[in-house]
Amino acid sequence: MEEPVRHILILGGTTEARQLAAALAEQPSVRVTSSLAGRVAEPRLPAGQVRVGGFGGPAGLAAWLREQQVHTLIDATHPFAQVISRNAAEAAAAVHVPLLTLRRPSWVPVEGDRWHQVDSLAAAAAVLPSLGTRALLTTGRLGLAEFAGVTGVHLVARSVDQPDPPLPPRLTVLLARGPFTPAGERAVFAEHRIDVLVTKDSGGAATAPKLAVARELGLPVVVVRRPAPPAHGVVVADVAQVLGELGLH
């Protein structure tokens, strides 16, 4: 007797989401669909079926889960995608679909780091002028408006796509997509005379080299703490743990 095919929906866009989609696409007992928010102009498409765009809030997502007979919902979005994660938790609970939240581990400071941890982008913007005059900002284009009122600091903002206004008065935009290398980050810090780094606690290896370079140079780093994941569902740290929860290898 053949094993029934399970439909798994991945809310993704992250490196881990693509890795997970690739692993699940190889499973004959799984049909995988990845949902991308559509905020990046040319996203890297994962294996399996792909849909782009929102669902219309938790009610819309719940309806989609029901109509598409989704067996398991996996939230593999960015650790700071709070709205999507909250919608996923509400929708999964409403239709009684198991929810797995895939969150890469947080970065942890080591000897030599000069971290200033804050709870929001607004708090990062407030503390920034006291730490340097040329800042590498790697918090994403959607949060750049929080720094629009910063004066006395030249901001070098790195983003996949061009940011929309409002923008800081002294701004250089670097269009780039990770993963990044230590050598590449050293070149960016040197070319733009960076003396302070601002980042979210995204975790993972793809964008971690900037932290190592800041440590080498003895520079301060403003780190925005990540929000806690929703209480509903099971939180896992990597693709292997997801496959284990699903009974797959």
Give the H or E element holding residue 99: strand 99-102
Mean pLDDT of 23-31: 95
Q: What is the pLDDT of residue 3?
A: 62
Q: How far, in Å, are 121, 138, 195, 217, 239 from residue 225 at the CA level?
A: 9, 14, 21, 23, 23
pLDDT digits (tens, 9 = 90+) for 106-120: 999 999 999 999 999
% of the chain beyond a pLDDT of 90? 82
Our CA dihedral for 93, 143, 165, 53, rounded to 10 degrees, sits at -30
Q: Is the dihedral of CA 104, 106, 111, 115 positive or negative?
A: positive
Mean pLDDT of 37-60: 87
Domains and CATH numbers, the chain: 6-105+228-245 (3.40.50.720), 114-224 (3.40.50.720)
Q: What is the pLDDT of residue 1?
A: 41
Q: How far, in Å, are 1, 32, 37, 66 from residue 51 at the CA level?
A: 32, 11, 9, 16
Predicted confidence (pLDDT) at residue 34 exceeds the cutoff of 50: yes
pLDDT digits (tens, 9 = 90+) for 158-186: 998 899 888 998 999 999 988 899 999 99
Q: Higher model confidence: residue 41 or residue 230?
A: 230
Q: What is the pLDDT of residue 10?
A: 98
pLDDT digits (tens, 9 = 90+) for 131-144: 999 999 999 888 89
% of the chain beyond a pLDDT of 70? 98
Predicted confidence (pLDDT) at residue 94 exceeds the cutoff of 70: yes
Mean pLDDT of 61-89: 96
Q: What is the DSSP letter of 20?
A: H
Q: Give this prediction's pTM.
A: 0.87
